[in-house]
Structure 1
Amino acid sequence: MDEKVYHLLLLILEHSHRRFSIQELSDELNFSDKTIRNYLKQLDVWLSQHSSCQIIRKPNQGIWIEGTKEDIERLKKYLKQNRYFIIEQEKRKTELMNILFTEPNPLSIKELSQRFFCHSDIIKKELEMIHEELKRQQVSLTIRQKEGVHLVGEESCIRNAYVHFLLHLWRSGGNQALFSFIERQTYDLLSFYTRQLLSSCDLHLTDEAYVKFVLCVFFTIQRIKKKHFVSGHTFSSDSFELDMSSFFSQIERSFACHLPLPEKQYLHSLLVSSRQLLSEQKSSFLSTDSYEFVKWFLTRLSERLSVPFTEDKELIEPLSYHVHTTLERIKHHLPIHNPMKEKIRTQYYPTFLQIYSLLEEEAPERLKQFKEDEVAYLTLYIESSLERLQQMDGKNKRVVIACSMGMSASMLLKTKLERKFHSLHIVKSVSFSQLKSVIEKEEVDFVICTNEPEQLDIPYIVLSPVLDKEEEQRLLNFIASLDEKRKTAYPLLKQYLSLETTFTQVSCSNPIDAIRMVCDSLSSLGYITNHYKDSVIQRESLSSTIMENEVMIPHGNDKEVLRSTIAIVQFKKPVTWNQKTVSLMFLLALKPSEVSHQRALFHELLSVCEDKSFIQELKNAVNPSEMLQFF
């Protein structure tokens, strides 16, 4: 934990009965509002791993710590007793990660502990944490007695893992956060060459894609100088869609390194698969494969959800551009990472599930390589279309959206705003680098940003692309618009519940045992076939269904459902699955013929998952009869 984050948490704990505003925290600690918001996000992650306490942020109410008196006192005592360890651990982990990627020769555990002036057990523990993070990027750590700590994985995966690490720093601290690891002069020179390249190729990348490409070029140079090269067979063709010869010559001349053909192919594939600004793209950029996939995808999804996505003209072209870059990354075996995956999966689970199932069950073999990160991106496009197909008229305020996350995020935010806040007129969606020039040319009332801007002379508000209910309320207050009443009843969900499919005080060591037990019971009652159980377990192994507030919603192949039902399982003691806690389970068994109800049903179920007090009532129920009374 950063020292400033530590002091922020301690301040909130010391005044646990007080509700702070951002401004009060900023004044108290002498940090900017932007810094406070970034640090609160870091605290959310840290607290989820180390305490049952939570930082609560609510419009017009403030910021405070929520937890029992005992938990708050315990956390306060832990912070004070372990101050040095807590602060130094995050610094050490960041530096340790950088060493693993950039040191010319592997270091042993002993050498690392001497460098950081700490016990070897601490280094081992932190290497285990890093190993778990790197596994998501298909890279692992091996420790050899005489050879030290090694990175193991394909060269392209190792490069992607390091760039992912640097991008994480950039997202939280901007360019300044990178300069601890890259000389500013080097970064500026690579940025200059990249801008020239993009101009000559008439390409316009999103802010994040631009930074990512610069970082990829930087680390490629470092790896080549250490004689680590990408495999030639990974990149299938030596022909180039874009003329990058001048760029390659500049790199070779300025950094005194030779770029072999596979390295040029690698950098070329990175560029053609980078996310671009929608407003600047040309239709000639697209491949036939992109259009064919989108046509198949929207047709089948329209049939599944009974929604005419194929009629949404604003969806087809941007989705085709997105799919084009995705197919390029798949073709060149470049990993895809979506930093918003978990939030998208949780908030839009019905849509996420339908897309995931469609690709898994019906997609051509080569398209089954779409992983959860990419499914989350597709979910944003489909959600934006759903919003658009139901949008309302009447707009007056002139707003610009500034987004660094690419067109799928900006499109979703734009369409959600236009539907839910009909007093808005979205003038344009731009990257942060374009924002200043657009404000100078256009008449704008205020700006909606997806992260804190460096400097703005007109009013702005920071919202995430998924625009959750808390943010809706903040925006309602900001523009003095109408409020949207929250539904508190779950009439559709209640239709699928019964006493015989509700189980309380269940003792199991893990959720899979509970799934087996419940499915055996449902099978004996005639709700499902014997094969449904295996399909639930298989799907759970592919994609976890754990939602907010310790709730899990597993489901299986709907072809094995005889009668629709939803079983509720209340665990006697919380169980752990995929490093998350589960206290309640809603096991879904819904017939294919009822697909038209499923979207509304899922939305009710997700509302239940988000209602912390309601979930607590279900956890406290002593028998099935009492539990069902809450619905």
Structure 2
Amino acid sequence: MERQIELLKLLFKESEFKPATYFSAKLSISTKTIYSDIEKLNDQLLAVPNSDIYIEKSPRKGLMLTGNKECIDLIIDYLEQNNSHGYFNKNFRRLAPEYRRLDIVKRCLLNQESVSLEQLSDDYIVSKTSLHKDIEFINRSLESENVLLIVTHKAIVIEGKESQIQRAIKHFLLLYINKQDNYYLNQLMNSLMGDNSFEQISQLLFEHHESIVQRSSEYYLSSLLISIAIQLKRLALGYPIDEEDDFLFNHIRYMQSYLIASDLAKQLEVVFNIEFSTNDIKYLSKLFFAHRIIDESVKVDDSFYEQIIRKIIKKIGEIEGVDLSKDSKLFHSLLSHFPPMITRLQKQIRIINPILKEIKLEYSKLFSVLWYALSDLEHKFNIRLNDHEISFLLIHFQIALDKAADANNIVIICQYGCSSSNLILNKVRKILPSKDNIEVFSISKLASTNLSNVDLIITTLDINNLNKPVVKISSLLNTNDYQNIIQAYANYVLNKQSDFSEKNNCYPSTAKFVDPDLIELSADIDNKNKCLSQLIKQLEDKGYVTHHYRDSVLHREEIGDTSIENGIALPHGSPMFVTKSSISIMTLRKPIKWGVIDVSVIIMVSLSEKNINSINEVFTEIYEIVSNKCAISALKNITSFKQLKLFLDNQRGIKHVF
């Protein structure tokens, strides 16, 4: 409501109609948001006693405040009082357990104060027993990010990496922000940060990256701003992001947003007098990528560049033997990347790619190809290309090539030094397709790294319990080793077999929440709304969810499309409104439109806060099903709950389900 009140004050100062663009420029928001705020303001103004103040909208004229303006101060006071919240009032703050927990997260996690349980007991005027329950509640939410608050005799301490801590703080905040308005969000963030940095970050984004603000949904933009504000606060307190272990093929994806992140980091450094390290910028780029903000968010309308880029795409495609001409994502990402790149090179502004060394090692062939293919640009624009600029261009092409070639990710793990590992790497590259991503990785970093995108592991060590296909080889790589690698590649990569796991049950977490009464197979339903309504009604009839759950599911669908690859939709609502955890499954006789994708299988995951720690395992298993065409085919053809239970309990049983 704070922004709407500022808009009301601006309207009060004007005696004639002003266009919406006038007010959007003053408040650094979009015209769409202006009109949305006008609707909310008019609704609020109707409730003000003894007032005829109203905002009139007139086509081709704009906006103007009408009515008796003499009592404007009283009207503003009324609106502010009626839109305040108990958490931001010190008299209420100590009484409500949910906001006491929020304050504990602020002090112990965000600010990382050295505070004891005794001190908290005195501050909040509650017993230590109540505080132990508060911390247990907080920890249940934090466990999904592997973060814990631990109570010691001296103080409450945090266990977890910095990136995990920041994600955990945001995860907890979302419990309070869900479906609240912007006024509440601004109040909450200002109170948590202790300043107006949240609003300053928003203003910086609007001023310097307007296209991002205009193209992003309000939900994604708010989510991104919260993440950046948390990172900024932690950085100001002296808690930078540690280097995160990850594979190069994952880094490549995140680096699509690196230039945007680097630019914003420089602006934040000036405004807030802090310093971003390379790891901090890489983390910021991950935040942009996670919120669907990459270079192609900036569209450039320039036929001159269009012709050049199409020629380059055609040339690289012909060299690589892949038709890239129809890849619109590659075209638009390059179209937004090229103009600023040319400007940088002409003005001799140097940028640094933090993973240049790894890119040149892993993608040496494509790196050389790009240098060759782009050499004529130097003459055309009177510039000098450099490795860093080439490496950023390579990122866009490598992602496109991976997509076109359906590349696989192979990891080599050895116990000896780099020379031994690279020797094996070069030999393996000779026997496996050149389209695949093959890289050497350290055994010491393996335990802390996400293996979800890895298709095959080749190693000289005894490695167990990875739930990934592993080929054991000798350090000298003999004839038997070559045969074993080729056989494993054929079985687990080309055929995507799933029986490499030593566990008998492939989907145990999913299976335990599946209820036979919530299964509907070969349903004759012709649209998305009917599907959602039927699935939710089943949950309501069984008492598994409260009446608020329906709204939370529909709200999630408004925010973004929940359909994923291979004709699957994963609608879900807030765990706050689930009384008993369950998973509903519906298969359709005929596919229906779910956003832009045709969907024939709907899996509604409804887990309560009690089982929230299982959400990662459940979604991991569901995505394993989604990425396995054999599993998808079996799932779509299941006709009974008995078959479905067998399918979920034992992936090895796919061939025998029918």
TM-score where L is the length of structure 1: 0.37
Q: Return the index of the structure with the highest Cα Rg.
A: 2
